[in-house]
Amino acid sequence: MVSRRTFLRANGMVLAAGGLGVSLPARAATAAAPLLPGFGRPTHLDFADVSALHGDDQLLLTTLQGVVNRRRPRLYFNYNAENYDTAWLDGTGARITRHDRPLDLIARYRDEARGAILHDPAVPDSVNVATTLAGLENAVAATAEQAVEHGFEVITDLRGRFDPGDVLATYRWQLGNLFPRCTKALLSGLPPTRTVRVEDVRWREVARETQRIRDSSNRQVRTFDLSQELTGQDGVYLRFQDSLGDDGWGASVGSVVVRADGAQLASFTPGTDAETAYLFDGLNSAVGADANRFADGGNYFVYRFTAPAGTRQLLVEVDLWNQFLVTATTTAPTRVEPFPYFRDYTVAMRAMVFWLPPSGGTGALLDEILSQVRPTTPYAGWFSNDVAGEWGGVDRASQHAVEVVPADYYMNATVHAGVQARVSDRVRPRPRTTLRDRVYLTLTVGEGDNIQYCQRRMRQIWDDPARGRVPTNWTVSPLLAEIGPALLAYYQRTATDHDLLIAGPSGAGYTYPGSWPREALDAYTALTGRFLRRTGMDLVYAYNHRNAAGDGWVALDARIAASYRKNTPLRGIIQSWESGDLQAAPAGLPVIGNFSPQGRAQEYRDTLVRHIEGWDGARPLFIAGAVNAWNWAPADIAELGELLGDPFEIVRGDAFFALLGEVLNSRT
């Protein structure tokens, strides 16, 4: 392991813990009130590994955890085989009792719940309504069979209450009947279900693109013969994936035609009603602006086709492009279960939980909900439809002065929010630098606004022994000071001299400042300033709203920069820009657009070299390089550092902005 310098000192700490120990129907109207409160300090935790349990059991246990931990945190679970949740267990400071039979904990704590809210297996979104009711009634969300098995009295039975085909009616009922009783301090968007892969499914490779193609140049209609899969009793499953999952340009499908013995069996384009009948699993994919369905990185989507009995030949014609991997099987590869994560916190907070795609009628209802809370109220969870859902959802929230906290996979929040930890409020000493005619590169690992990333993936790559070899900026959420102080303190405590923690987009929660109502923007930047001072951060990676064409971003203007400058300690902003050609100082605050080369270290280096081809070497040049947090690790950053020689100099973000400030000031 590399040596790590502990820079936290007792006289430079802020003791952080959520320890309120009481339920909060609404956030108090004071600037010092917690944005994401806790429920007391955990002193003893009953711990169990629930990763092997069915989603129904995980849902029951997580909602029980919310009821129990609201009074005092006592339940903690590990939800995944990678043991991300276990890694943080010792840092809680609590005495731990381990239980090998997690379902036995239901009997131990059953009397703390008033009973059960039964969700309807025929109506997936009833899982969210049941979660909301569980928080309001001090109950668990369960199936009818679970209620009988574990001895819960049924408080409300949602079976048959809602029309399976009318999602809007389900959530409109919840808005009218439950929201008046819910806290107005938190909104939560969680998917009601998840897909779980079935083990030991055997796939046949049908087609693969081996080249790195990102420009659709290999687009063509390809015909796949699935006749050998006709022996299956449950139909034929066709899966599309990313053949090269490290750069985000996976399989993209524009249309599908299926023929059984020459007769047309199906014909559809993605995103239409015609596709719905054949889309077996689309939760891990998205529909693009060109009516194409795509899946990048580790994502995928699956179609299911059932041929008439006696069919001898099954052909599928697919308009397909980019880096595709196509496989087929005769076994159902996934099953659908309730989505259990983060529900302990929503139950403890008595928050309303919903899942409304930010377009069409569901988008209009989302607007209606967002309009009923105060500015800077957090929306914790996420949005459907991958990137398009992200842009649309965050923009809608921003228009209503609501910031997003990506938290749908954040585990054990009711415990982490109450842990006492020493969070530093000191700004790290800046390395000494001298301005020269060099290419100054600062590298920033993204995704830090995502608190589940900070809990899971960031811990994994942070513990890479190669970290610290190259100056690197790590985005984190300053909101961890409240909802995960021990997580933030760990990163502060173990940072090397080459590691700099900066705020993820766009400060105290993910948002697009340009979309905020003009009169509310200062409330967001003031909230950001409060958390930045509390966590010792003075740089932020920021987004803004998309341009009218939807193919790029709008630069932060003087009004927005002035609000940041007035209310925060920021020395500069790295803005999401991708092409790297943005450099300005609106209202005197340095702003530079990030540059996002694709691929691994060698391709990244080659792209940087091409990027500076017009530079004459007679002046300093500044590049803010983006690092893909999901595909890169510190070993990749170290490799890039070895590949980049003269005239490049990699510097930490604070040194980078000190030098950039010198240049910008010399021009005024």
**pLDDT tens per residue across span 44-87:** 999 999 999 999 999 999 999 999 999 999 999 999 888 888 99
Question: Phi, psi at residue 397, to the nearest 5°?
Answer: -60, -45
pLDDT at 446 over 80: yes
Would the CATH topology of 199-332 be identical to that of 421-666?
no
Is 127 exposed, middle or buried, given 0-12, 13-18 or 19+ CB atoms closer than 10 A?
A: buried
Q: Name the strand (E) or helix (H) holding 104.
A: helix 104-109
d(CA 62, CA 66): 6
- How far is Cα 614 from Cα 574, in angstroms, rounded to an integer? 23
Enter the DSSP assignment of 576. P
Mean pLDDT of 277-298: 90
Confidence of residue 664 (pLDDT cuts 50, 70, 90): confident
The predicted-structure confidence for 454-481, as pLDDT tens digits, reads as follows 999 999 999 999 999 999 999 999 999 9
Tokens 């988008």 belong to residue: 363
Quick one: pLDDT at residue 247? 77
Give 324-359 pLDDT, tens digit per residue.
999 999 999 989 999 999 999 999 999 999 999 998
C-alpha 522/C-alpha 513 separation (Å) is 10
DSSP state of 14: E
Whether the pLDDT of residue 266 is over 50: the answer is yes
Task: Please name the residues in contact with 102: beta carbons below 8 A apart, sequence gap of 6 or more.
Answer: 48, 49, 50, 53, 57, 61, 77
Q: How is the chain split into domains, by residue range?
A: 46-195+337-416, 199-332, 421-666
Average pLDDT over residues 132-153: 98
pLDDT of 13 > 70? The answer is no
Is the pLDDT confidence value at 486 over 60? yes
For range 578-594, the mean pLDDT: 92
CATH classification for the domain delimited by 199-332, as one of 2.40.50, 2.60.120, 3.30.460, 3.10.110: 2.60.120
8 — pLDDT class (breaks 50, 70, 90): very low
pLDDT cut 90: percent of the chain above it: 83
The string of pLDDT tens digits covering residues 216-237 is 999 999 999 999 999 877 899 9
Q: What is the pLDDT of residue 16?
A: 45
Q: Kindly state the tokens that stand for 70.
A: 């609201």
| CB neighbourhood size of 274 (10 A) | 13
Those residues whose C-beta lies under 8 Å from the C-beta of residue 29, and which sit 6 or more positions away, are: none
Contact residues for 559 (Cβ-Cβ < 8 A; gap 6+):
518, 521, 587
The DSSP result for 263-322, as a single string, is EEEEEE-TTSHHHHTTEEE-TT-EE-TTS-EE--TT-EEEEEE-PPTT---EEEEEEEES
Output the CATH code of domain 421-666.
3.20.20.490
Of the pLDDT bands very low, low, confident and very high (cuts 50, 70, 90), residue 15 is very low
pLDDT value of position 386: 66
How many CB atoms sit inside 10 A of residue 120's CB? 21
| Length reported for the chain | 668
Shortest CA distance to 474 belongs to which of 465, 488, 485? Answer: 488
How confident is residue 668, by pLDDT bands cut at 50, 70 and 90?
A: low
pLDDT (0 to 100) of residue 9: 22
Q: What is the mean pLDDT of the chain?
A: 92
Lowest mean per-residue pLDDT among 15-29, 104-118, 395-409: 15-29
What lies within 8 Å, CB to CB, of 650 at 6+ separation is 441, 442, 443, 470, 471, 641, 644
What is the average pLDDT across 429-449?
Answer: 93
Q: Which two tokens stand for residue 354?
A: 């919903």
Cα–Cα distance between 361 and 377 in angstroms, integer? 23
pLDDT at position 2, please?
29
Residue burial 16-26, b: 16+ Cβ < 10 Å; e: rest = bbbbeeeebee
- Residue 643 clears pLDDT 90, i.e. is over it: yes
Residue 197 reports pLDDT greater than 50: yes
Quick one: the chain helix, strand, coil %, rounded to 5? 30, 25, 45
Cis? peptide before 126, omega within 30° of 0: no
